[in-house]
A and B are shown apart, each in its own frame.
Chain A
Amino acid sequence: MTLIIPLAVSGACAHPRTGAGTGGAVGEARATPDESCLLSTGAVSARSRTITIGLVDPVDPRHAPIGRNDAERIVFRHLYETPVRVDCDGHVRPELVATWTKEDGGRRWTLRLRDGAQFWDGAPVTAQDVVFGRGGAGYTLGALESRAVAVTFAKERDDVPPLLGDPGLAVMKPAPDSSWPIGTGTYWATSATTTPQEIRAHTSQGDTLVFKFAASGDARDLLDAGVDLLVTRDRALRDYAATLQNHEVVALPWDRTYVYVTAQAGGGSTSFDGLEQAARAEARRAEGDFWWRDFRACGIARDSTPPAPTGQRRILYARGDPTARELAGRLAALTHAVATGRAPDDFSAALAGGKDGGYVIALPRVTADVCRSAKDLLPSWPATFTALVDTRPTAIVRRGVARWTVDQDGTVHLAP
């Protein structure tokens, strides 16, 4: 594929929307990327056979297909496919599903799998692979025939819902000899192609995607080594990249909102000053209609009483998230509390317990499946959520190497 496309930084990418669809009774699957979601990276005459993406966060294959940080989201996005993809403008794009048909006034949708869709091991993807063990609040999945999937909604829908682009619906199966589950994406990776320094993903056509970690701990080394893409939330790294001649610095959509979670009644009305300045990441005061404010329709069982506090004025955050640490520190300064970091798994356990003074958590600004996100990310006890700041990452892209696009959730990946 040879395309020469003049690109500009997409202003739309900074304002993603939810719920926009293709419309129509029969979906016209648009395989070409939405031009507005392409990153401005200069003219691309031919994609390099080997592309390198720098990673500043750790990647654990056991988390697939739902990434817990920017690095995992990028890697998983290239390896695993969801039925559909939602671009930065909220348009539903075909991925594992090629076409869709609306029936019963929009309550029932029939999805047809892409011709030739297969797992990395060559096994064809069947409707059973898509529906097995999947489904969510407000919809059910069923296999009509070997390559047709029926989605039945509780309410009528005009457009095929973006929730089919939720990472939780990515199709994969366990690999007996690899820590990486077997996916259906163009690129594949195994334990044999994974080292502490890099993850190599290949295509059947011989293309290679190298995900390279910053071995020294300094992400500037990655840029100096010549990576083609690096996504960061570090303004210092962004400023450094701006000094490099062959790289373009592109602001990505505001994709994460940091939220202060407490068990205190009325905690949501608390005003905290200087939060945008407290974070070294690019941050703004949180704004929007937050999905976590109301998920009663999901029918998730919630505790009726808040947990008994331990009496410690301690604000917890997940270690490894510098923005969460900085915000927790600012809150500690303003409330005379103590900020304490926890390893991600320990933090999740503490959040579930809810016995600390408060928790700083990062939530996606938009989610394809509110109910799945609420179940995975929010505590079950009656919490008060105070939105603190929105942050957005920055893509540092080498000019003229490849075309990159961004999804609604802010994940950057190679354009089809």
Chain B
Amino acid sequence: MKFRTRLLISFGVVVLIPLLVFGLGIRREMSRSVTGQYEERVQALVNVINADIAREGDRIGARLATMKNSLKDDNNFRNVVVRGADRSYVLDYAGNAMRMSGLDFLQIQDDEGRVVSSGHFRNEFDRLGPAVSGTTLVRAATAEGPFLTLVTSDTVYITPSHRFRLVGGIAVDSQFLARLARDPELGVALALPRDSTRSDSGKLVVGPPLTVPYIDATDGPGRVEQARIEITRSSALLTALQRNVNLWFAAAVLVAALAALLLAGWLSTRISEPVEARIAIGDIARQVTHDVKNGLAPLRNVFRHLTQVARDKPAELPEVFAERQGTVESSINYLETLAANYAKLSPQSERKATDVNAVVRETIGPSGSVRTKLAEGLPPVSADALVLRRVIENLLSNAVDSLDGKNGSVTVTTEQGKGIVRIAVSDTGRGMSKAELDKAFNDFYTTKPGGTGLGLSIVRRLVMDSNGSLNVETEPGKGSTFIVEIPVQ
């Protein structure tokens, strides 16, 4: 992984993690704030509903009080009650009174609770009505079906011995509940005992439920139970709100991350450029050292040989010098070319028709330790002779080193393939394990004391630059074969 990439990731992590933590914190705070506001609104609504129900009860009570006075003064009603006159007047009384008073429910019950007149359901007379005390929610019967009503009651004496109870109320329908709700985002729902038709789908109950006395009077007087007035909000609204928050949060994180990455990229470029330059210079320096060592090694050998001859056989010195002069000149040329290439700081290879066998022979020289099996009549390849020599020198150097000074052989073989010329450098040395082979071409990987770890890396790059290929066959303890294939001219 490049230094710049590591730097970029580091920048990203350093910027993104705090950003993410910051965003999550804001989101949590928003949620807490919204929840707090909801709770305040719900509590306010609870107070309003309580006040509204009490106010409605008072209004109904006021109408019943007016009705009570009117009923006490009604001679026809009194006649029916006291003298048993035509009952139809009483039966119709509650209907007329209910319409005039604006109520939706009105019963006049006798002392036993029997309905003597009903406004909302004229023909329910003689049935037992609900025993209402205070403001109560009643499920009342009509001919067409039941309905809910909020009722309260009052007592009237027509005579000292004829007591009646007035039970009046207003309809509790969706409009009534909507009036209670007021807040457009909150709803009010009723939860009645044993109400199997109620559906809460899509609604969330929020806040504490209010309770109100409830009587189911559809099949008789009923008994007092508790109904709940629940404050609800639409789960769809909440889901939409959460989705919007999450969407905007994700968008904010994405934009921030993008900005952070761009900033990190710019910063890492600014920081990494000089560092990478220094690393490149170091690489070059190591490569130069390596190449120069390779060029100087033959010269050292020639001079040691000449020194030995001058000391032991001075008379043969001119002959030996003439014999080794080619090696010296070749090494000097190599070093000069190397220097010229490095002088350009961009070692451009110069591909041209090259005789592979000639390069092999020139590289090996008169060394007796390296065997050759060179095929005759090889076509010239398209390569830089100097590059090819550097490749072969590196491979030979590694092969000789792999023998570890023990008996063994190093063989260079050339042969023609389909459109290529194959150069194989084999040794019978220690070979490589798979783990070693996997890392063999990495920069600076070496198993040799004092090695630069650049040999095979340089070989691979040079071969690739020549449009060739490099393959390795190796087995631990039995040796390795490096196979270079260079396309023919």
Stretch in A27-35, A141-149, A184-192, A273-281 touching the partner: A273-281
Partner of B122, one of A235, A329, A338, A340: A329
Chain B residues whose CB sits within 8 angstroms of the CB of A278 once the complex forms: 122-123
B124 CB–A CB distance under 8 Å: yes
Chain B residues whose CB sits within 8 angstroms of the CB of A333 once the complex forms: 121, 123-125, 127, 141, 143
A330 CB–B CB distance under 8 Å: yes
Cβ-closest chain A residue relative to B92: A280
Cβ-closest chain A residue relative to B146: A338
Chain B residues whose CB sits within 8 angstroms of the CB of A328 once the complex forms: 143
- Please give the distance in Å from A330's CB to the nearest CB on chain B: 4
Partner of B88, one of A277, A329, A338, A340: A277
Q: Which of A332-350 contact B (CB under 8 A)?
A: 332-333, 336, 338-340
Q: Could you tell me the distance between the alpha carbons of A338 and B126 in the complex, rounded to whole angstroms?
A: 18
Main secondary structure of the interface of A (DSSP, over half): helix
B362 CB–A CB distance under 8 Å: no
B305 CB–A CB distance under 8 Å: no
| Chain B interface residues toward A at CB < 8 A | 87-88, 91-92, 121-127, 141-145, 218-219
Cβ-closest chain B residue relative to A340: B144
A166 CB–B CB distance under 8 Å: no
Chain A residues whose CB sits within 8 angstroms of the CB of B125 once the complex forms: 274, 277, 333
Q: Could you tell me the distance between the alpha carbons of A280 and B89 in the complex, rounded to whole angstroms?
A: 11
A228 CB–B CB distance under 8 Å: no
Q: Could you tell me the distance between the alpha carbons of A278 and B126 in the complex, rounded to whole angstroms?
A: 11
Chain A residues whose CB sits within 8 angstroms of the CB of B145 once the complex forms: 338
- Please give the distance in Å from B186's CB to the nearest CB on chain A: 34
Type the 1/0 row for A66-86, where 1 means its CB is closer than 8 Å to any CB of B.
000000000000000000000
In the bound complex, do residue A329 and residue B123 qualify as a contact, i.e. CB atoms below 8 Å apart?
yes
Q: Which of A343-362 contact B (CB under 8 A)?
A: none
Q: Could you tell me the distance between the alpha carbons of A235 and B91 in the complex, rounded to whole angstroms?
A: 14
Chain A residues whose CB sits within 8 angstroms of the CB of B219 once the complex forms: 336
Q: Could you tell me the distance between the alpha carbons of A62 and B219 in the complex, rounded to whole angstroms?
A: 43
Task: Please classify how large the interface on chain A is, using the bins under 10, 10 to 19, 20 to 34, 35 or more.
Answer: 10 to 19
In the bound complex, do residue A326 and residue B144 qualify as a contact, i.e. CB atoms below 8 Å apart?
no
Cβ-closest chain A residue relative to B145: A338
Which of B87, B124, B127 has the largest number of chain A CB atoms within 10 A?
A: B124
- Please give the distance in Å from A378's CB to the nearest CB on chain B: 25
Q: Could you tell me the distance between the alpha carbons of A235 and B219 in the complex, rounded to whole angstroms?
A: 31
Chain A residues whose CB sits within 8 angstroms of the CB of B122 once the complex forms: 278, 326, 329
| Chain A interface residues toward B at CB < 8 A | 235, 273-274, 277-278, 280, 325-326, 328-330, 332-333, 336, 338-340
Chain A residues whose CB sits within 8 angstroms of the CB of B127 once the complex forms: 333
Q: Could you tell me the distance between the alpha carbons of A326 and B126 in the complex, rounded to whole angstroms?
A: 15
Q: Sample 29 A-B pairs with CB under 8 A, ordered by A number.
A: A235-B88, A273-B126, A274-B123, A274-B125, A274-B126, A277-B87, A277-B88, A278-B122, A278-B123, A325-B143, A326-B122, A326-B123, A329-B122, A329-B123, A330-B123, A332-B123, A332-B141, A332-B143, A333-B121, A333-B124, A333-B125, A333-B127, A333-B141, A336-B141, A336-B218, A336-B219, A338-B144, A339-B144, A340-B144
Q: Could you tell me the distance between the alpha carbons of A333 and B220 in the complex, rounded to whole angstroms?
A: 10
Chain A residues whose CB sits within 8 angstroms of the CB of B144 once the complex forms: 338-340
Which of A328, A333, A336, A340 has the largest number of chain B CB atoms within 10 A?
A: A333
Q: Could you tell me the distance between the alpha carbons of A2 and B318 in the complex, rounded to whole angstroms?
A: 182
Chain A residues whose CB sits within 8 angstroms of the CB of B124 once the complex forms: 333
Cβ-closest chain B residue relative to A338: B145
Chain A residues whose CB sits within 8 angstroms of the CB of B126 once the complex forms: 273-274
In the bound complex, do residue A329 and residue B91 qualify as a contact, i.e. CB atoms below 8 Å apart?
no
Chain A residues whose CB sits within 8 angstroms of the CB of B141 once the complex forms: 332-333, 336
- Please give the distance in Å from A187's CB to the nearest CB on chain B: 38
Chain B residues whose CB sits within 8 angstroms of the CB of A326 once the complex forms: 122-123
Partner of A277, one of B91, B121, B143, B218: B91
Cβ-closest chain B residue relative to A314: B145
In the bound complex, do residue A329 and residue B218 qualify as a contact, i.e. CB atoms below 8 Å apart?
no
Cβ-closest chain B residue relative to A317: B143
Chain A residues whose CB sits within 8 angstroms of the CB of B143 once the complex forms: 325, 328-329, 332-333, 338-339
Q: Could you tell me the distance between the alpha carbons of A274 and B92 in the complex, rounded to whole angstroms?
A: 14
Chain A residues whose CB sits within 8 angstroms of the CB of B92 once the complex forms: 280
The 4 residue pairs across chains A and B that have the minimum distance between CB atoms: A329-B143, A330-B123, A339-B143, A333-B124
Q: Could you tell me the distance between the alpha carbons of A340 and B143 in the complex, rounded to whole angstroms?
A: 8
Q: Apart from A329-B121, A329-B142, A332-B123, what are 4 other A-B pairs with CB-CB below 8 Å?
A: A278-B122, A332-B141, A333-B143, A338-B144
- Please give the distance in Å from A156's CB to the nearest CB on chain B: 49
- Please give the distance in Å from B221's CB to the nearest CB on chain A: 13
Q: Could you tell me the distance between the alpha carbons of A99 and B123 in the complex, rounded to whole angstroms?
A: 51
- Please give the distance in Å from A190's CB to the nearest CB on chain B: 41
- Please give the distance in Å from A171's CB to the nearest CB on chain B: 43
Q: Could you tell me the distance between the alpha carbons of A325 and B121 in the complex, rounded to whole angstroms?
A: 12
Q: Could you tell me the distance between the alpha carbons of A274 and B145 in the complex, rounded to whole angstroms?
A: 20
Q: Could you tell me the distance between the alpha carbons of A235 and B86 in the complex, rounded to whole angstroms?
A: 13
- Please give the distance in Å from B390's CB to the nearest CB on chain A: 101
Q: Could you tell me the distance between the alpha carbons of A4 and B442 in the complex, rounded to whole angstroms?
A: 140
Q: Could you tell me the distance between the alpha carbons of A324 and B167 in the complex, rounded to whole angstroms?
A: 28
Cβ-closest chain A residue relative to B124: A333
Chain B residues whose CB sits within 8 angstroms of the CB of A329 once the complex forms: 121-123, 142-143
Cβ-closest chain A residue relative to B219: A336
